[in-house]
Amino acid sequence: MEAQAQSKNGGPLIRLESLGKVFYTEELETHALSEIHMDIKSGEYVAVAGPSGCGKTTLLSILGLLDTPTSGDYVLDGEPVSNLTASQRARIRNQHIGFIFQAFNLIGDLTVYENVELPLTYRGMPSAERKQRVHESLERVEMAHRVNHYPAQLSGGQQQRVAVARALVGQPSILLADEPTGNLDSKNGGAVMELLRDLHREGATICMVTHDPRYAHHAERTLNLFDGQIVSEENGEKLRELEEIGF
């Protein structure tokens, strides 16, 4: 994966300023996010941690251009997201952002190969190049021997590996992971976290949502979210040191 050295203007790759998100119904308005300030530099590994319902997935959806904020600013690679058209947002999602979901989100009637190939098909990429990219991505997650299998024929850990391959195949500059270990046992969860750590070492920019402090500590920084607000920030290296000495 090729990571950008820096954003176009030399600043952070991702910048959120006073960002808020409100969901409205006929009788109620729910403030999912409020006054979020956050910078993520190119090549950085950031975890967003917090209890269920605190706004983590909403934040990740906004970062991935799957949702829009109600207030505040989101600047992506030097470009205010509010200036982008729907087609520009779709193109950025397809070409620059990779998603890893807790529920895998594989398509049941497509093979492993076809699931991983799908994002490239939307780009109109030539068949030979698609084939090379797909096999490289599946080799990376040790699933090349399962190209003709369907998701139902795979274990949960294998499905998540395929989902990671699909996220990587487009060589995105940003990798967004929403509870990537949430449906996995500890062994498979640990394997996926090691894979993310390897990708970060190679230069990937990663933002991961998790409720598990063990996995949050893999990141360089952890932003703790509570009731839609960032309430604290922790250094991942320091947390790992404390874990190692028993605190």
Count up the domains in the chain and report the number.
1
Predicted confidence at residue 33, as pLDDT, reads: 96
* Domain region containing 99: 45-68+83-244
Q: Which has more pLDDT, 11 or 24?
A: 24
Of the candidates 136, 215, 207, which has an alpha carbon nearest to the alpha carbon of residue 171? Answer: 136
pLDDT band at 213 (very low <50, low <70, confident <90, very high): confident
Predicted confidence at residue 241, as pLDDT, reads: 53
Residue 59: inside a domain, yes or no? yes
Neighbours of 238 (CB within 10 A): 10
Residue 4: inside a domain, yes or no? no
Predicted confidence at residue 239, as pLDDT, reads: 53
- Rounded distance between C-alpha atoms, residue 32 and residue 70, angstroms: 10
Which pLDDT tens digit goes with each residue over 16-34?
Answer: 999 999 999 888 899 999 9
Confidence check: pLDDT of 4 > 50: no
- Rounded distance between C-alpha atoms, residue 11 and residue 46, angstroms: 17
Q: Give the pTM.
A: 0.86
Residue 8: inside a domain, yes or no? no
Which pLDDT tens digit goes with each residue over 59-72?
Answer: 999 999 999 999 99
Residue 113: inside a domain, yes or no? yes
Predicted confidence at residue 247, as pLDDT, reads: 42
Residue 115: inside a domain, yes or no? yes
CATH code of 94's domain:
3.40.50.300
> Parallel, antiparallel, or unpaired: how do β-strands 97-101 and 79-80 relate?
unpaired
What is the percent of the chain with per-residue pLDDT over 90, rounded to a whole number? 70
Predicted confidence at residue 5, as pLDDT, reads: 42
Q: Which has more pLDDT, 218 or 149?
A: 149
Which pLDDT tens digit goes with each residue over 156-205?
Answer: 999 999 999 999 999 898 999 999 988 888 888 888 899 899 889 988 99
Q: Do 118 and 166 contact (CB within 8 A), yes or no?
A: yes
Residue 234: inside a domain, yes or no? yes
Residue 38: inside a domain, yes or no? no
